[in-house]
């Protein structure tokens, strides 16, 4: 009995010496922070993380939409490799199971003695930064009834991998693995009444809202009042997110945990807009990534290419738990880490809208392959078409009031099969070099490199109609005829070979 007690005491001491691991994962937000060059707003708390840690200037998600991104994040695996690449998949009768060797990261932390939790990082506020149960409607009910944070995984998983919504329930000296899930860019969404309430909250908590006239838009979006106000609201969602981050940091300091906590700040993809979320351009796939904590050098900027699946590996390594051999993510903080020379991203079906896009970023270029070039960029999608900004863009298009660039990039009835952009010279990816003879060799190289990546990651076959029908079943009969029309349209295009 005495040796067993000694062993338990020893394990407890080892656990106490391990760092806590805390991830900030934010919805629908690009790198619009002061430390990334944003000048319209101030983001002091996220910028503090940058000053005290490492800022990665070229971090990318492997999927620019919530559930595939989060499925990849929590496993350290490409969503295409584990079959979790379609947004909101496995929710019908046909289920998706992880490969036998793949274990979600929270379970690995549990097995290593960590207390695992997922929530808001604050005991009295929810993922919106509001008191639990505040407001009206579905979101308020979710906040009141379940304090666990967003998961949105596209595979079957055991909810027991999370011990709680908050680290307060852990044993004395027990390290914690915490995912702080924040609403981010989604804070500004909803009907006009909800958006007005959001603006009132901004004034109440931050003193004033962002002036729409001072907003800088990408060149393919018109300086229309609706789009300018939306972007201003989005920047205010960034400010509220920054405020929430500051409150969590203050809590860690008050509890004496900040010095021993490895903090990772990341978003699950870029801004939700017509060329952002769901798409592989910089606006959709480039995200902020900041790491601060024990042993992390302060004020360092790393320009190498990294992928969001690396978070699992670097966190497990920091906790002394080791990186599983099956994991595709890499410990990018390891002394012997060999930097990537490419970053891979993929987009597949989102809700009812079938799609397949693949991209490869290298030091200077991004190469995108469109597998459905006979379809428009803005395919019918009830989720996207329900947004005021997309509705306004469609209205301006119908009225002939968009610029030639906007028409070409957003409303062309077809797309090029291949896209190639030189990122250093073309920040917004508006000049496709795929047909330029001067870049023929670059195109061929990237085409071959993407082909090799697809083989290496076991890129999946097209989704079967049985799986599509299974995943569409939860959408049917919900009083949304637009979704049902879109499903019929997807099937017609598929039958036509488009």
Tens-digit pLDDT profile for residues 250-265: 999 999 999 999 999 9
CA distances in angstroms from 477 to 75, 436, 467, 481, 488, listed in the order given: 33, 49, 18, 9, 14
pLDDT of residue 21: 98
Check: CB of residue 217 under 8 Å from CB of residue 225. no
CA within 13 Å, CB half, 184: 26
Do 282 and 171 fall within a single domain? Answer: yes
Low-confidence ranges of the chain (pLDDT < 70): 1-16, 135-146
- Of 269, 299, 334, at which residue does a domain stop? 334
In a domain, 6, yes or no: no
- What CATH number did the domain enclosing 324 receive? 3.40.720.10
In a domain, 47, yes or no: yes
pLDDT of residue 13: 38
Tens-digit pLDDT profile for residues 286-342: 999 999 999 999 999 999 999 999 999 999 999 999 999 999 999 999 999 999 999
Do 252 and 367 fall within a single domain? Answer: no
In a domain, 238, yes or no: yes
In a domain, 250, yes or no: yes
Do 404 and 266 fall within a single domain? Answer: no
Tokens of 294: 């024990």
In a domain, 3, yes or no: no
Do 271 and 154 fall within a single domain? Answer: yes
Task: Tell me the residue range of the domain where 480 lies.
Answer: 357-495
In a domain, 374, yes or no: yes
pLDDT of residue 350: 98
Check: CB of residue 330 under 8 Å from CB of residue 310. yes
Give the number of domains in the chain.
Answer: 2
Can you tell me the distance from the alpha carbon of 126 to that of 139, in angstroms, rounded to the nearest whole number? 10
CA distances in angstroms from 93 to 70, 84, 176, 433, 490, listed in the order given: 22, 15, 35, 44, 20
In a domain, 305, yes or no: yes
Pick the closest to residue 232 from 198, 181, 282, 193 (CA basis): 198
Name residues whose C-beta falls within 8 Å of residue 472's C-beta, 6 or more positions apart in sequence. 92, 352, 487
Query: What predicted TM-score, i.e. pTM, was given to this entire model?
Result: 0.94
Can you tell me the distance from the alpha carbon of 495 to that of 498, in angstroms, rounded to the nearest whole number? 8
Check: CB of residue 68 under 8 Å from CB of residue 278. no
Do 277 and 397 fall within a single domain? Answer: no
**Where does residue 212 fall: left (phi above 0), alpha (psi -120 to 50 degrees), or beta otherwise?**
alpha
In a domain, 207, yes or no: yes
Do 329 and 431 fall within a single domain? Answer: no
The kind and range of the H/E element at 23 are strand 20-26
Do 113 and 24 fall within a single domain? Answer: yes
Do 287 and 196 fall within a single domain? Answer: yes
Average pLDDT, the chain: 94
Do 290 and 423 fall within a single domain? Answer: no
- Of 334, 349, 380, at which residue does a domain stop? 334
């Amino acid at each position: 009995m005495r040796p067993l007690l000694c062993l338990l005491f020893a394990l407890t001491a080892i656990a106490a010496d391990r760092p806590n691991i805390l991830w900030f994962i934010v919805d629908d937000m690009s790198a619009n922070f002061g430390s990334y060059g944003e000048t319209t707003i101030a983001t002091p708390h996220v910028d503090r993380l940058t000053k005290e840690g490492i800022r990665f200037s070229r971090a990318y998600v492997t999927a620019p939409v919530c559930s595939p991104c989060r499925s990849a994040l929590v496993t350290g695996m490409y969503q295409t490799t584990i079959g979790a690449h379609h947004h909101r998949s496995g929710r019908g009768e046909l289920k998706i199971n992880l490969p036998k060797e793949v274990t979600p990261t929270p379970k690995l932390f549990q097995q290593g003695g960590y207390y695992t939790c997922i929530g808001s990082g604050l005991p009295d506020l929810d993922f919106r930064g509001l008191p639990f149960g505040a407001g009206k409607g579905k979101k308020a009910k979710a906040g009141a009834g379940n304090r666990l944070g967003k998961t949105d995984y596209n595979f079957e998983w055991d909810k027991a991998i999370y011990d709680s919504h908050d680290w307060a329930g852990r044993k004395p000296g027990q390290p914690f693995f915490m995912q702080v899930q924040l609403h981010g860019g989604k804070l500004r969404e909803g009907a006009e009444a909800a958006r007005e309430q959001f603006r009132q909250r901004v004034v109440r908590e931050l003193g004033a809202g962002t002036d729409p006239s001072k907003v800088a838009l990408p060149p393919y979006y018109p300086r229309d009042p609706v789009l300018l106000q939306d972007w201003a609201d989005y920047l205010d969602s960034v400010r509220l997110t920054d405020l929430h981050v500051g409150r969590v940091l203050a809590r860690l300091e008050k509890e004496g945990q900040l010095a021993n906590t490895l903090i990772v700040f990341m978003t699950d993809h870029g801004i939700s807009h017509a060329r952002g979320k769901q798409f592989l351009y910089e606006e959709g796939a480039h995200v902020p990534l900041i790491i601060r904590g024990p042993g992390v050098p302060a004020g360092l900027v790393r320009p190498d290419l990294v992928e969001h699946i690396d978070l699992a590996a670097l966190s497990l390594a920091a906790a002394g738990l080791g990186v599983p051999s099956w994991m595709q993510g890499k410990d990018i903080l390891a002394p012997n880490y060999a930097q990537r020379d490419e970053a891979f991203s993929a987009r597949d079906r989102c809700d009812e809208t079938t799609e397949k896009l693949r991209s490869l970023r290298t030091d200077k270029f991004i190469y995108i392959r469109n597998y459905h070039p006979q379809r428009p960029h803005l395919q019918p999608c009830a989720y996207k078409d329900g947004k005021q900004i997309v509705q306004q863009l469609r209205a301006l298009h119908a009225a002939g009031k968009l610029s030639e660039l906007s028409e070409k990039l957003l409303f062309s009835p077809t797309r090029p099969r291949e896209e190639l952009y030189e990122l250093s010279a073309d920040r917004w990816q508006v000049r496709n070099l795929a047909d330029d003879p001067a870049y023929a060799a670059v195109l061929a190289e990237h085409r071959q490199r993407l082909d090799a990546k697809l083989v290496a990651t076991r890129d999946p076959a097209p989704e079967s109609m049985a799986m599509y029908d299974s995943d569409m079943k939860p959408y049917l009969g919900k009083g949304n005829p637009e979704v049902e029309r879109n499903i019929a349209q997807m099937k017609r295009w598929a039958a036509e070979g488009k």
